[in-house]
Every structure is written in structure tokens, then in C-alpha cells.
Amino acid sequence: ELKVEQNPLFLSMQEGKNYTIYCNYSTTSDRLYWYRQDPGKSLESLFVLLSNGAVKQEGRLMASLDTKARLSTLHITAAVHDLSATYFCAVISTGNQFYFGTGTSLTVIP
Amino acid sequence: ETGVTQSPTHLIKTRGQQVTLRCSSQSGHNTVSWYQQALGQGPQFIFQYYREEENGRGNFPPRFSGLQFPNYSSELNVNALELDDSALYLCASSSTGPETQYFGPGTRLLVL
């Protein structure tokens, strides 16, 4: 069974600081997704990464994918309070099964 | 363009009962996936429907079943409810290909 691990699970950071969330997965997958979830809410799509070396940026968030290392990163630049949320990565395996990581709960402190 | 909608928003059932959850996909999307998200965990893939056929299934028992209708809306049925079925049930729609999924607001199910 494909496993998706994120670290850290919990992250508390000060406003203005930079940090990276890591997503490792255990078997080959050519697509990786990042989502954001606010407390009590549904999931919001952030990025879709479709190939090795893909990099996408939106505002203070940048995601990258290394399919050889089976690793994706979500980099946060100059964090602001509005980025506080839980972030999930997800991969799709053969058979169209989606596997989500356990999530990284991010709290940005003023 | 309307987004993904789900009904009901909240539901309370007792053990052994059956439940049907509904999802209307986003306009133009022909694929619907269902997920179970327990408190504090990531979503777990239940199954996916593409053009009314099951197109992938996660590790859920057969008492979790689904349907997709010609208008691409979908239902998730759970029979013989167990306490551990208490969770947020999310549906997501997408179009063909690797594009992202768009999630509905979810149905929060409590089994007593």
C-alpha cells in the first residue's frame, strides 16, 4: 500500500519567517497535489505537480516535486497569520487511488 | 459556474442504521471521488466514479457503496453503520485527466 508521510506534523512559526513542509511517498507516482484545510472546512486546492522537477508558486507558497526521490516540498516565505491552516499533500497511484498524507498543522504567530 | 455541493451538512445516526449522502459535482466535471476524514487525520479514499462506473476503490468494506447518475451527481451509501464510521465525508469532482479535484463542504456524520 502506498504511504504518504508529511513532516513536521505540527509547525508553529513566527510571522515573517520561512519554513518548508516535506512530503515523502513510498511508490512511484507521477502526480502530486497540495491542499489547504481551515478548521471545520473542506479542502482547497493549492497546487498540482505533474512531472519531475515541477515547481509552482502562488503568493508566499512554492511547491516542488522530485519524483526520483519521491519527495515534494511546500515552502513558505515570510509567513503571515492568514497562512495558518492544515496542509495536506496527496498522490495518485495506479488504479486511480488517492492517498493523502496525515497533514501538517501550521500556526503562524504574530 | 456552481461548485461542488453536498447534502446533508450534518447527520446523526445510530449503529446498524443505513445512510445515504449526496454530492452534486461541479459543472463540466464527469468524475466524482468520495473520502472519509476522521478527526485529526487526512482524508481516506473510498472510491471514485467516472461516467457512472466505479473507477477505483480504497480499502473500505463492501458496506460502503456508491452510485453516479447521468448528470454526474453521486451518492455514497453506508450500510450497517458502526461507531468508527463517524467522520467528515467529502466528495470531490474533477474533469478527465490529471487536473485537481474540487472538494465539497462535506457531510459530518455522527454514529451513536
Chain B partners of A2 at a C-beta cutoff of 8 Å?
none
pLDDT of residue B95: 82
What is the distance in angstroms between the Cα of B66 and the nearest Cα belonging to chain A?
Answer: 16
pLDDT of residue A30: 74
Grid coordinates belonging to A58: 502562488
Give the phi and the psi of residue B9 in degrees, each rounded to 5.
-80, -35
pLDDT tens digits for range A27-71: 877 789 999 999 988 999 999 998 888 999 999 999 999 999 999
pLDDT at B1 over 60: no
Grid coordinates belonging to B11: 447527520
Residue A46 zone, left/alpha/beta (φ > 0; ψ -120 to 50; rest): alpha
Is B56 within 8 Å of chain A by CB?
Answer: yes
Pairwise CB contact (< 8 Å): A100 & B33: no
Chain A partners of B42 at a C-beta cutoff of 8 Å?
4, 88, 90, 100-103
CA A54/CA B108 separation, integer angstroms: 35
pLDDT of residue B14: 98
Is B92 within 8 Å of chain A by CB?
Answer: yes
Pairwise CB contact (< 8 Å): A48 & B43: no
pLDDT of residue B20: 98
pLDDT tens digits for range B60-111: 999 999 999 998 899 999 999 999 999 999 999 988 666 688 899 999 999 9
Pairwise CB contact (< 8 Å): A88 & B42: yes
Report angle CA B14, B82, B91 to the nearest 5 degrees: 95
Pairwise CB contact (< 8 Å): B56 & A45: no
For residue A11, CA distances in Å to A23, A43, A84, B66 come to 14, 19, 10, 37
pLDDT of residue B56: 87
- Amino acid at the residue B112: L
pLDDT of residue B2: 66
Q: What is the mean pLDDT of residues B40-54?
A: 92
Residues of chain A numbered 64-103 and touching chain B (CB < 8 Å): 88, 90, 92, 95-103
Q: What is the mean pLDDT of residues A84-90?
A: 97
Is A39 within 8 Å of chain B by CB?
Answer: no
pLDDT of residue B100: 80
